Amino acid sequence: MRKILVIDDEKDFGFFVEQNLELTGAYNVILASSAKEGIKAAIRQKPDLILLDVVMPEMSGFEVLKTLKETRATTSIPVIMLTAVDTDEAKETALSFYNEDYIVKPVAISELKAKIDAVLSRKY
Amino acid sequence: MKVQTKLLILIIFCTTSFIGLAVLYKGMEKSRLDSLFKAEESASAVAFEKAIYLLGRSLEIYTSDRSYLGEIARFLETGDKDWAKMNIDGSLAIHKVNSIWVYKKDGSLLYSANDMGEDCLTDSPVDRRVLEDLFADSRSCRFFTETRCGPMELRGTAIDAASDPEGKRQPSGYLLAGRLWDKGYLADISSITGAKVSVELIGRVPSDGRSTGEKGGLIYYARSMNDWKNRPVFQLTIVRKPESIGIFNRASNQTMIVMVLYSILLFVVLWVSLTNWIYIPLKRISKAVLDKRPIEDKILLRRNDEFGDMTSIMNKFYEHRERLVSEVVAHRSAESALRLSEEKFAKAFRANPNPMAIFMRADGKFLDANDAFTGLTGYTRKQVLGSQLDKLNILSPESRAIVMGALEDKGMIRDAELDITTASGEKRSWIFSASAIDIGEDKIILAVANDITERKMAEKNLYDAQNQLVQAEKLAALGRFASGLAHEIKNPLAILLGGIEYLRDKLTSTEPEVREAIVKMREAIMRANIVVKDLLAFARPSKLIYEKVHPNALIHDAIGFVELFRHKSDTADIDIRQEPTEEEVYVEVDKNQIQQVLFNILLNAIEAVPMSGEIVIKAYSIDGSCAIEVRDTGHGIAKEDLPKLFEPFFTTKRDKKGTGLGLSIVKSIIERHRGKISVESELGKGTKVTITLPSVVAGPQKEAWR
């Protein structure tokens, strides 16, 4: 069972991602509804992969990504940006922090799962 | 030759001719003197001969006294010396005879006596043999001889016997009586003749001209005294100083002095007079003429002669001339002021940076046009000057009517903005002003314009730039708005999609209606997502990454994508064909974006072709641009739809999931590439979409596109 951490302030979206992924039976999904909560969860829970939103109150997804990559405990955890922001600039910024992939919402669960599996298989 | 020189020559001629006359006069005097001298000389000779004769008379008488000679004849016979001593010696003093010699008939000296008491005269003065010769022709003789006591005059006679008083037989003896020409005798001659008398032996006669003639007022008269053989023995010179010659000479000299003095005076008087009367006035007049000024010499002005007249005439001439000169100067300065003014006007006209022209009011014939006018209109000066306003077509007939109408009504037109046409057909904008002017009989029009073509162009460019800026800002704002909107829509869409998919997988119901409802809901969500995506692409275009590429390569790749897409969805029999160009034409574009454009256009073409048809895509160069043409044999587009094709959200295929943003995005991309897109279509026949993009010269390898 892969442990997936979803950091998104949109709780309803996080809920459906959790439900849809767990339905497959291959993933254990942890939800974090704020950036700080997400970073804490990432350090404590040590997930296999993180799905990270960009637009969040208090702290943007890029800052979270930067923190995670700079934190020793989380630096090696692959991060896939999962956001409604669909601009070249955002994609370039994410890439500069060594994220693994960039998925624009809305995304079909099959596509999401395929991308998660691709990242995980690349890592292991 | 100068007048002064001529005057000098004249004076010298006068003076020298006067001197010549004086010399001639002197010569004449000389000849007169000569004749006077000749007269004096002959008078001297006569006087001398007379003196000689008178003095020699006693000697002559002594030798020709017959009674005395009879006694001598008897003495010759007797030889009585006592008698002789008593009678002969005693007779010497009486007859002023110095010496006497008595010879026998054989020539021997019988007796001699003299009163000198010296024996110098005792010897016979001639040889005894000579005696016979002496008296051969005549019974008496006279001659001179030199004795030790000095020159002596000798007279001789043959003595006849008492029995022969006629002298028919040989003389019985001879008698010689002599008289010394000593100082006393000469003094006697001097006193008789009134002349200085001297005697010199022939051998001692000086050759310095003391011969007969005149010298220094003295008259020399010389005469030689001969011996018995008629040979000169000594010369007698008589020097006389005649009073008349002296007076004559003095008078002559005085005359000469007077003449010389007079000639000098004449010279001076002539020189001074002629210099003062002619030379000086002439010189002053000529100097004044040379200096070109009036004569101010008071002496000249006061003169009553011709020079005075000449001076006043000249002064009048100068006065007149002065007046003329000042008139000419005034005229000239007026002329030059006029010329300067004309030149200023001509320069101001010619060099004026604004186009200017002068033409006749009546027929519009050009009289002049400046460089700015010819330069801007493109017509040569020759073309303009030979032509009329309506022949050149600079102004359109409408503009011409406006201008001429205003000139007719108000006599002027001010700041009318008109379009003009140059010789090459170019349009330019002018602010045009003109005034009708009367110059003499001529009614002309002076027109001046201000070319505002560049200013208008600049204004337009500025407006365009501002507009572009505003557009860009608008686009940026729209982009920001679209991004925000997309974000806000995408989040709920994501939740909806997540929820729908959860329901789909979690739902246990197998009712087909429920399943279909879920599928349709999902499709609606996906369509909404596409709309949002297209909207973003249109409103917030991504950055262009330019690269040089051959249009053949772009077309080739686009066809490749379309073919991939077609295999999945379409089954229609459509031939998509590329007609590659051989031209060396390249474009500098964002390859992905242009491919997206071509992709969109090709998709539209495919959708337009109902079941079977043809799509041809080709590239070619036209007017420095590269054109890509997509032509299909589809159903075509209705004429009324053509203008709306590029409007956002305009679509003819709602049922086929079109968002209506495809061609808007296409147009936006093409315009961002500074290109153009046009559509030609005919219902039922097909559509032709043409994209033109700026072409570039250099490109990558020719083979790169293949």
The highest-confidence range among B617-631, B637-651, B691-705, by mean pLDDT, is B617-631
What was the pLDDT predicted at B189?
80
CA–CA separation, B491 and A17 (whole Å): 13
Task: List pLDDT tens digits, range A65-102.
Answer: 999 999 999 999 999 999 999 888 889 998 888 878 99
Residue B576 pLDDT more than 60? yes
User: If DSSP codes are grouped into helix, strand and coil, which group holds residue A68?
Assistant: helix
B319 vs B217, which has greater pLDDT? B319
Our measurement of the distance from residue B482's CA atom to the centroid of its chain's CA atoms, rounded to an integer in Å, reads 90
What was the pLDDT predicted at B216?
67
Q: Which residues of B touch A85 (CB under 8 A)?
A: 483, 487
Nearest chain A Cα distance for residue B539, angstroms: 12
The verdict on a CB contact (< 8 Å) between B495 and A16 is: yes
Q: Residue B66: enclosing H or E segment and its boundaries? A: helix B66-78
Task: List pLDDT tens digits, range B348-391.
Answer: 888 899 999 998 888 888 988 999 999 988 998 888 887 888 88
Share of chain A above pLDDT 70, in %: 98
Mutate to test the interface with A, among B478, B487, B507, B529 (most CBs of A within 10 A): B487
The answer to whether A14 touches A8, Cβ cutoff 8 Å, is yes
Rounded mean pLDDT of B484-492?
90
Rounded mean pLDDT of B297-317?
82
Instruction: Determine which of B403-407, B562-566, B581-585, B603-607 has the lowest per-residue pLDDT on average.
Output: B562-566
Question: B75: number of CA atoms within 13 Å, CB side?
Answer: 27
Residue B414 pLDDT more than 70? yes
The verdict on a CB contact (< 8 Å) between B487 and A85 is: yes
pLDDT band at B703 (very low <50, low <70, confident <90, very high): very low
Q: Residue B109: enclosing H or E segment and its boundaries? A: strand B109-114
The highest-confidence range among A57-61, B185-189, B463-467, B700-704, by mean pLDDT, is A57-61
Nearest chain A Cα distance for residue B547, angstroms: 19
Residue B434 pLDDT more than 80? yes
DSSP lists the bridge partners of residue B590 as B546
The answer to whether A39 touches A64, Cβ cutoff 8 Å, is yes
Residue B475 pLDDT more than 70? yes
Nearest chain B Cα distance for residue A16, angstroms: 5
User: DSSP string covering B415-436, please?
Assistant: EEEEEEE-TTS-EEEEEEEEEE
Q: Which residues of A touch B503 (CB under 8 A)?
A: none
The verdict on a CB contact (< 8 Å) between B498 and A84 is: no
Dihedral angle, C-alpha B321, B326, B328, B334, nearest 10 °: 180
Residue B70 pLDDT more than 80? yes
User: Using beta carbons and an 8 Å cutoff, which residues of A are at the interface with B?
Assistant: 10, 12-13, 15-17, 19-20, 23, 55, 84-88, 104-109
Q: Which residues of A touch B506 (CB under 8 A)?
A: 19, 23
Closest alpha carbon within chain A to B530? A106
The answer to whether B490 touches A84, Cβ cutoff 8 Å, is yes
Strands in B232-240's sheet, in edge-to-edge order, are B196-201, B232-240, B218-226, B213-215
CA–CA separation, B140 and A78 (whole Å): 209
What was the pLDDT predicted at B534?
82
What was the pLDDT predicted at A39?
95
Closest alpha carbon within chain A to B480? A87
The count of CB pairs under 8 A between chains A and B is: 69
Mutate to test the interface with A, among B478, B495, B542 (most CBs of A within 10 A): B495
Mutate to test the interface with A, among B497, B504, B522, B525 (most CBs of A within 10 A): B497
Unique residue bearing structure tokens 């010269």: B697
Give the nearest partner residue to B491 out of A19, A105, A108, using CB atoms.
A105
Rounded mean pLDDT of B425-433?
90
The percent of chain B in helix, strand and coil, each rounded to the nearest 5, is 55, 25, 20
Rounded mean pLDDT of B12-38?
83
Q: Which residue, among B189, B178, B182, B134, has the nearest Cα to B155 in the 3D structure? A: B178
Residue B179 pLDDT more than 70? yes
The verdict on a CB contact (< 8 Å) between B490 and A17 is: no
Rounded mean pLDDT of A30-41?
95
- Residue type (1 letter), A102: Y
Task: List pLDDT tens digits, range B121-170.
Answer: 677 788 777 887 888 788 888 888 888 778 888 888 888 876 776 767 77
User: If DSSP codes are grouped into helix, strand and coil, which group holds residue B124?
Assistant: coil
A34 vs B127, which has greater pLDDT? A34
Nearest chain A Cα distance for residue B602, angstroms: 26
What was the pLDDT predicted at B288?
81
User: If DSSP codes are grouped into helix, strand and coil, which group holds residue B52?
Assistant: helix
What was the pLDDT predicted at B118?
63
pTM across the whole model: 0.44
Q: Which residues of A touch B489 (CB under 8 A)?
A: 84
Share of chain B above pLDDT 90, in %: 16
The answer to whether B532 touches B489, Cβ cutoff 8 Å, is yes
The percent of chain A in helix, strand and coil, each rounded to the nearest 5, is 50, 20, 30
The highest-confidence range among B69-73, B434-438, B537-541, by mean pLDDT, is B434-438
User: DSSP string covering B309-348, please?
Assistant: HHHHHHHHHHHHHHHHHHHHHHHHHHHHHHHHHHHHHHHH
pLDDT band at B706 (very low <50, low <70, confident <90, very high): very low
Closest alpha carbon within chain A to B526? A106
pLDDT band at B120 (very low <50, low <70, confident <90, very high): low
The verdict on a CB contact (< 8 Å) between A106 and B494 is: yes
What mean pLDDT, rounded, does chain A reach?
Answer: 92
Query: Is B494 touching A (CB cutoff 8 A)?
Result: yes
For residue B209, report the phi and psi dihedrals to the nearest 5 degrees: 90, 10
Query: Can you read off the two tokens belonging to residue B248?
Result: 């004559």
Closest alpha carbon within chain B to A108? B497
Nearest chain A Cα distance for residue B527, angstroms: 11
What was the pLDDT predicted at B209?
46
Rounded mean pLDDT of A22-32?
92
What was the pLDDT predicted at B698?
62
The verdict on a CB contact (< 8 Å) between A20 and B540 is: no
What was the pLDDT predicted at B704?
42
Residue A40 pLDDT more than 70? yes
Closest alpha carbon within chain A to B489? A84
Q: Which residues of A touch B525 (CB under 8 A)?
A: 106
What mean pLDDT, rounded, does chain B reach?
Answer: 84
Q: What is the largest CA-CA distance in chain B?
A: 256
Q: Which residue, among B340, B514, B560, B369, has the nearest Cα to B447 in the 3D structure? A: B369
Mutate to test the interface with B, among A15, A17, A20, A31 (most CBs of B within 10 A): A20
Nearest chain B Cα distance for residue A91, angstroms: 12
Residue B260 pLDDT more than 80? yes
What was the pLDDT predicted at B467?
84
B116 vs A23, which has greater pLDDT? A23
**Cα separation values, B14 from B26, B137, B274, Å:** 18, 70, 13
Give the nearest partner residue to B501 out of A12, A104, A108, using CB atoms.
A108
Residue A123 pLDDT more than 80? no
User: If DSSP codes are grouped into helix, strand and coil, which group holds residue B150?
Assistant: strand
Residues 529-548 of B with CB under 8 A from A: 529, 533, 536, 540, 542-543
Nearest chain A Cα distance for residue B487, angstroms: 5
Dihedral angle, C-alpha B415, B420, B426, B429, nearest 10 °: 10
Instruction: Determine which of B328-337, B457-466, B558-567 has the lowest per-residue pLDDT on average.
Output: B558-567
Closest alpha carbon within chain A to B527? A106
CA–CA separation, B465 and B474 (whole Å): 14
- Residue type (1 letter), B204: R
Q: How many helices (H) and strands (E) does chain A have?
A: 5, 5
DSSP lists the bridge partners of residue B449 as B432
Residue B416 pLDDT more than 60? yes
The verdict on a CB contact (< 8 Å) between B496 and A13 is: no
Give the nearest partner residue to A84 out of B490, B506, B540, using CB atoms.
B490
Closest alpha carbon within chain B to A103? B494
Task: List pLDDT tens digits, range B518-534.
Answer: 999 998 898 888 888 88
Q: Which residues of A touch B507 (CB under 8 A)?
A: none
pLDDT band at B213 (very low <50, low <70, confident <90, very high): low
Q: Which residues of A touch B543 (CB under 8 A)?
A: 88
